[in-house]
Amino acid sequence: MPILNILRYPDERLHKVATQVSEVTDEIRTLVHNMTETMYAAPGIGLAATQVNVHQCVIVVDVSDSQNELQVLINPEIISSSGVSDNEEGCLSVPGVFAKVCRAHSISVKAVDINGQTYVLEASGLLAVCIQHEMDHLLGKVFVEYLSPLKQKRILTKLKKQQRNAM
Q: Which residues are catalytic?
A: 134
User: CB of 25: closest distance to Zn ion in angstroms?
Assistant: 25
Beta strands in 8-160 (DSSP E): 46-48, 58-61, 71-89, 99-112, 118-124
For residues 5-25, b (16+ Cβ closer than 10 Å) or e, as one string? ebbbbbeeebebebeebeebe
* Residue with smaller CB distance to ligand K1U, 25 or 163: 163
Site string for ligand K1U, 117-146 (x = CB under 6 A): ------------xx--xx------------
Residue 92 contacts ligand K1U per CB under 6 A: yes
Q: With beta carbons less than 8 A apart as the criterion, state whether 45 and 82 touch.
A: no
Q: Which of 44, 50, 104, 112 binds ligand K1U (CB under 6 A)?
A: 44
Residue 159 contacts Zn ion per CB under 5 A: no
Residue 91 contacts ligand K1U per CB under 6 A: yes
Give the CA angle between residues 103, 104, 109 to the nearest 5°: 120
Site residues (CB under 5 A) for Zn ion, limited to 79-98? 91
Q: Which of 49, 89, 109, 155 binds ligand K1U (CB under 6 A)?
A: 89
Spatial CA neighbour of 74 closest among 118, 26, 17, 123: 118
- DSSP bridge partners of 92: none
User: CB of 164: closest distance to Zn ion in angstroms?
Assistant: 23
93: number of Cβ within 10 Å: 23
Stretch that binds ligand K1U, among 23-31, 90-98, 114-122, 150-158 (CB under 6 A): 90-98
Residues that bind Zn ion (CB under 5 A): 91
